[in-house]
Structure 1
Amino acid sequence: MARLTHASYAEAVETLIAGDRDLARVVARHGPPKLLSRPPGFPTLVYIIFEQQVSLASAKSTYDKVAALLPEFTAEAYLQLSDEALRAAGVSRQKARYTRLVAEATIAGDLPIHALGRKPDEEVRTLLTAITGIGNWTADVYLMLALRRPDLWPVGDLALVKAATAIKSRPHKPDKLWLENLGERYRPYRSVATGIFWRHYLHS
């Protein structure tokens, strides 16, 4: 499966800004985005679930507290944590349930997490979203960050929506169809375009 490298990411940025002056302005103002990546596996998927609908700082704080409770961040060790311990670390009851389901699916083999890198995007998405608590946003972000897939466009991502609204001078929050159509112009590097939009959001 295609996997972005630092070199191919930089090349994709150049291709995108050559074809879109709005993205070119972002890169000229803030510099090119760096390839964002995390190690594939159970810990990263849990981290992304913690990031659902909260700030990045809040999610990192929760993740760090949970990691400190574990001798090793594995699905087996995670299931040994009590609900009280997870709540004390900042994990909501809902996210505790979701992440436990991920751990159980990983152990049972229903989620072959270490083999996802050898599967196409849609198959990865299907396997991930079969688990309660994992929607398209979580699956897309895992594909982008952990598997470094080049062509993801997470239309449900709030940072992407806000950045696209500003960069493309939209008077109102765009709907899903408009965002999907916008993403079409950035194929086959929509993940890289997302990185440029995120860069604008982080600096705005």
Structure 2
Amino acid sequence: MSRARLLDGVDALSAADPDLAAVVTRFGPPPLWARRPGFATLVQIVLEQQVSLASGRATFGRLRDAWGEVTPERFATLTAAQVRSAGVTRQKTSYCLGIARQIVDVTLDVRRLGRTDDDAARRRLVEIRGIGPWTADIYLLMALGRPDVWPDGDLALATAAQQVKRLRRRPDTERLRRLATSWAPWRAVAARILWHHYLSTRDG
């Protein structure tokens, strides 16, 4: 997704949803938050599972500092102990080493994911141990730039939606999914607007 396409989505959502429009008026359009497709981004998203973004990024930074560029070829030569020495949990170490081996063995072609539709790419990703629906959707949203992906189970989105929509309680996954249907075909842009609200209100 380009910056221009993001802004097209912001304009469409602002015209259709006054609550999202209010966020954009207050804080401006959201960042693109794009990541480079490939193994390193998959690793970083795995490291961000169930922890803060800052914690996940810090762990990824320690990996990079210790072993250089995070590539599947380099990662596949590391032992579990070497990966864990950078502060990666035992479980996430197993996940990341498994992903590296699949790419090196050519059982996973990450470049092909960019040429498939959303459902096919998601299905292939969730076949991989350690990659669930949230991780797959974040990869589609940020690395592949898909405009209509909605990451179920994202707590920051639920918190932001509660505030933006003035709900009595934080919506569960099913309610938030139903709410997000009104933002199609720009659900990934709506997610960025809500994340933008979440980060802007938390920081200030």
Output the CA distance in 1 between the equivalents of 2:188 and 2:121: 16
Q: Does the Cα contact within 8 Å between 2:158 and 2:172 map onto a contact in 1?
A: no
Q: Deviations over 1:143-196 (max 9, x none)?
A: 011100000111211111111111111112212221111111111000000000
Instruction: Select the residue among 111, 123, 126 that pairs with 2:123.
Output: 126
Q: Cα distance, 1:71 vs. partner?
A: 4.1
Question: What residue number does 1:43 align with?
Answer: 40
Question: What residue number does 1:17 align with?
Answer: 14
TM-score (norm 2): 0.95
The yes-or-no answer on 1:64 pairing with 2:65 is no
What one-letter code is carried by the residue in structure 2 that aligns with 1:200?
H
Output the CA distance in 2 between the equivalents of 1:28 and 1:189: 18
TM-score (norm 1): 0.95
Where in structure 2 are there 5+ consecutive unaligned residues? none
Instruction: Select the residue among 136, 147, 150 that pairs with 1:153.
Output: 150
Question: What residue number does 2:85 align with?
Answer: 88
The yes-or-no answer on 1:79 pairing with 2:76 is yes
Q: Secondary structure at the match of 2:194?
A: helix
Most deviating of 193-202 and 61-70? 61-70
Q: Cα distance, 1:87 vs. partner?
A: 2.0
Output the CA distance in 2 between the equivalents of 1:194 and 1:172: 19
Q: Does the Cα contact within 8 Å between 2:46 and 2:135 map onto a contact in 1?
A: yes
Output the CA distance in 2 between the equivalents of 1:26 and 1:71: 39
Q: Does the Cα contact within 8 Å between 2:133 and 2:152 map onto a contact in 1?
A: no
Output the CA distance in 1 between the equivalents of 2:53 and 2:45: 10
Aligned residues: 201
What one-letter code is carried by the residue in structure 1 that aligns with 2:49?
Q
Output the CA distance in 2 between the equivalents of 1:87 and 1:73: 14
Output the CA distance in 2 between the equivalents of 1:193 and 1:18: 12
Q: Does the Cα contact within 8 Å between 1:155 and 1:161 map onto a contact in 2?
A: no
Output the CA distance in 1 between the equivalents of 2:49 and 2:173: 19
Output the CA distance in 1 between the equivalents of 2:173 and 2:51: 21
Where in structure 1 are there 5+ consecutive unaligned residues? none
Output the CA distance in 2 between the equivalents of 1:61 and 1:146: 19
Q: Cα distance, 1:137 vs. partner?
A: 0.3
Identity %: 45
Runs of 4+ in 1 over 3 A off after TM superposition: none
